[in-house]
Amino acid sequence: MVVLFFLKNRNLFKNTVKYLGSNQQAGLIYNPNATVADLVNKDTDGDGIPDWEERLWGTDPTNPETTPGIPDSVTIAKLKQENGSSEQINTGNTADANLTQTDKFSREFLATLTTLEQNGAIDANENMDQATVDTVSQSLEDSVQNSPQRKIYTLSDIKIINDDSIKTIRTYNNALAALPPKSSVKYTVMDVLQKFAPDESGNNTDPSVLTELSPIIEQMSSLLSGALKIPVPQSFVSLHLVAINALEGIIENLNDIQLYNTDPVIAFSGITKYEQNANSFQVASQALFDAINKKLNN
């Protein structure tokens, strides 16, 4: 029996990633007496810059001129220019479509810190009690891990044929087996992440190595594109969809990881979810292979 292309390429996916520590910040908690919008749009000194952004850039949210004679808007604009950011000053109600996941994280997390200070959970030296640290950390971690997949393929995205004859199934099986490219990548996702990972002190990450994920992404995208074009016998439609959606999840994860320099929060989310999607793909591809084998051997 011809091995399905999914199984031929298992070396690309069969990696275990244990990257995020338990103290990684990945979600939020809020004062139950204030809405998220109230926190995000709060502007104590009325200078048009939300308190969360003032905290982000180190200006005083209670004083429109942290440096006497220089409006905070001018100070922050200068800081953004020095940091190579083209983002405009936020004036509340910023459209989420214009924000990276890291922007959203910073906005909401700093708004949360302000509320925690008001509630006494953070002291004058900005230290949290351990219970608050644990709660915030767990909530943040849950938020990163539970971010939804952006693209989900449905029945309308694949070619379905109402023919479950042995001949049709064999044609389907051969088409899947013919999908793998002749030349495969000689390293794995884990190889790249190990080179990227920080040293024991938590420093010296090397984001430049993440470009090495591009050939893997290209190969996976080619497999996905081919799988979407193959006519699928009716009895294998569900299994086929599960497999290609898991593959799509992996591709999204790897693309997100490459955004480390511009959007580190979504990059860490990609690293966290990669293992789950890789395992899902393995299970789905094996189930499809077993189903085809059973039909052909009956």
Neighbours of 179 (CB within 10 A): 19
Same domain assignment for residues 160 and 14: yes
Instruction: Name the β-bridge partners of 160.
Output: 232
**286 and 161 part of one domain:** yes
Tell if the pTM clears 0.85, that is, is over it: no
Examine the fold and report which residue of 103, 118, 133 is the final residue of a domain before the chain moves on.
118
The string over 245-282, giving b where at least 16 C-beta atoms fall within 10 Å of a residue's C-beta and e elsewhere, is: bbbbbbbbbbbbbbbbeebbbbbbbbbbbbbebbebbb
103 and 200 together in one domain: no
Beta strands in 162-256 (DSSP E): 231-233
* Domain presence at residue 59: yes
β partners of residue 128: 122
> Do the domain assignments include residue 281?
yes
Residue 141 falls within a domain, yes or no?
no
Q: Domain span at residue 57?
A: 36-118
| 122 phi, psi to nearest 5 deg | -120, 130
pLDDT at 15: 35
Both 169 and 288 in a single domain?
A: yes
| Model pLDDT, residue 257 | 92
Q: What's the CA angle centered on 215, arms 214 and 220, to 5 degrees?
A: 95
Do both 102 and 228 map to the same domain?
no
User: For the residues of 75-122, what is the DSSP string, one character each?
Assistant: HHHHHHHHTT--PPPP-SS--GGGS-HHHHHHHHHHHHHHHHHHTTSB
pLDDT for residue 127: 60
Examine the domain organization and report whether 220 and 277 are in the same domain: yes
The C-alpha atoms of residue 189 and residue 216 are separated, in whole angstroms, by 8
Same domain, 185 and 236: yes
Tell whether 220 and 99 lie within a shared domain.
no
**Domain count across the chain:** 2
| Residue 142, domain member (yes or no) | no
Could you tell me if 287 and 162 lie in one domain? yes
- Shared domain for 174 and 54, answered yes or no, is no
Alpha carbon separation from 264 to 64, 123, 207 (Å, rounded) = 30, 28, 10
Cα 79 from Cα 81, distance rounded (Å): 5
| 106 and 186 both lie in a single domain | no
- Which of 139, 138, 107, 124 has its CA nearest to residue 39? 107
Task: Write out the chain's pLDDT in tens, 298 residues.
Answer: 223 334 333 343 433 333 333 333 333 333 444 444 555 567 889 998 887 777 777 788 889 999 999 999 999 888 877 765 444 434 444 455 566 776 676 666 666 666 666 666 655 555 656 666 666 666 666 666 667 899 999 999 999 999 999 999 999 999 998 887 766 788 989 899 888 877 666 566 788 999 999 999 999 999 999 999 999 999 999 999 999 999 999 999 999 999 988 877 788 889 888 988 999 999 999 999 999 999 999 7
Asked, for residue 127, whether it belongs to a domain, the answer is: no
Q: Which of 97, 118, 139 is the last residue of a domain?
A: 118
Confidence (pLDDT) at 122: 59
Cα→Cα distances 38→89, 135, 209, Å: 18, 21, 41
Which residue is it, tokens 């994860």?
Answer: 253
CA distances from 131 to 107, 135, 180 (A): 23, 6, 51
